[in-house]
Amino acid sequence: MAVAPLAALHRKLFDETDGSKFARLKERLLKKHAPDDRLAVLDILTAYARDGQLLHWRSFLMTDIVHLVEGSQHAAFFAWALEQPALAYWSVDGLLKSIGVAAYAPLVALAASGATSLEVRAKAIKSLAVFSRQPFDQGLPPDPGHWKAEQLRLCAVLAWQADGYPDGAGYKAPATHETLTRPLSRLEVAAALLERNLALRRQREQDLAQPSNWLTVASAGDMAAIDAHWVLPEIYRRFLAWYSPLRVHVDGKRFPQGLHLYGAAELVKAQHGYTVDAVQHHTIARWQSKLVVIADAGGDPYCVHLEERSIDGDLPVYRAQHGAGEWRFERHTDDFIDFLHEIALAA
């Protein structure tokens, strides 16, 4: 009697000892069988996560398992996996997806456990924050694997538990300028184009606890700090005030190393290493004092020159390569608005 395709694939997975071949078998299982036989595929994957012979793949399968799970049918598996050091990290999301608020108590206990790895404790707090809309992760790196022990807001989590696990208010999107939706001037049109393309990036990935790729209204304090350092050309100052980049990073063919466009909150500090020594905080003599770095791509600075501006208040953008022994600037675009268009096309 012929063996059914799914049963044969099940046996091959458990017999395979080569990681690369296992990966191909797993992908075949997901593509050919998961759409029509999700529960059977989940049974195979969870069985392998429990007893499979390739130990690293037992851990790697957890993201696929979490993705496929619907409802509470596999809650017992995630409760078990939460106690396995190699499986616990993604089990956090699996348990929340399976049983929702009923997962709060065991996950708070996990976060409070000194016997659990820092990475897993941080993951528990991060996922609880996202699910409950509480600000336990505010201002922290989006990846909890990068959190430090002192960043675990365990006191806040325990207070939330004592209060009965209330839902939070979540995070508001950063404030944006009204002209992004009704652009008129050349600057407004260029900023609106960049905003539309950044919005597509935000749809793919965004964490409002640490928002990125936004054009936001700058704070009065940040603009005052900038004005205390420089008298910026009108166009560029208005851009910072109305459309201050918030963790804007674009890449692609135009910027293969990735370009970081500075916002008002970081512009002064971003000069460190260029015009200001980052350690001693003194002015670097070989840097032209009238150059302000407004972006960098892999350390290559993009600058505006404070004494070069046109009648309409715009100014050219210059670029230099770092590591050449001396700074040799070349004109990159004839004006800042052209530079914004270039970034928008790369976003």
pLDDT single digits (tens) 223-232: 999 999 999 9
Distance (Å, whole) CA 54 – CA 328: 54
Tell me, what's the pLDDT at 346? Answer: 85
Tell me, what's the pLDDT at 3? Answer: 46
User: Among residues 274, 299, 300, which one has the least CA distance to residue 288?
Assistant: 274
Residue burial 161-199, b: 16+ Cβ < 10 Å; e: rest = beeeeeeeeebeeeebbebbeebeebbbbbbbbbbebbe
User: Among residues 304, 291, 186, 152, which one has the least CA distance to residue 237?
Assistant: 304
User: Among residues 141, 124, 134, which one has the least CA distance to residue 207?
Assistant: 141
Tell me, what's the pLDDT at 2? Answer: 40
Tell me, what's the pLDDT at 4? Answer: 63
Give residue 1's pLDDT band: very low, low, confident or very high (50, 70, 90).
very low
Distance (Å, whole) CA 306 – CA 227: 13
Q: Residue 69 burial by CB count (10 A; 0-12/13-18/19+): exposed, middle or buried? A: buried
Taking all residues of the chain, what is their mean pLDDT, rounded to a whole number? 92
pLDDT single digits (tens) 28-70: 999 999 999 999 999 999 999 999 999 999 999 999 999 999 9
pLDDT single digits (tens) 84-107: 999 999 999 999 999 999 999 999
- Are 142 and 210 in contact by the 8 Å Cβ rule? The answer is yes
Q: What is the mean pLDDT of residues 284-290?
A: 75
Report the residue count for the chain. 347
Give residue 277's pLDDT band: very low, low, confident or very high (50, 70, 90).
low
Cβ neighbours of residue 24 closer than 8 Å, sequence gap 6 or more: none
- Are 236 and 191 in contact by the 8 Å Cβ rule? The answer is no
pLDDT single digits (tens) 159-177: 999 999 999 999 999 999 9
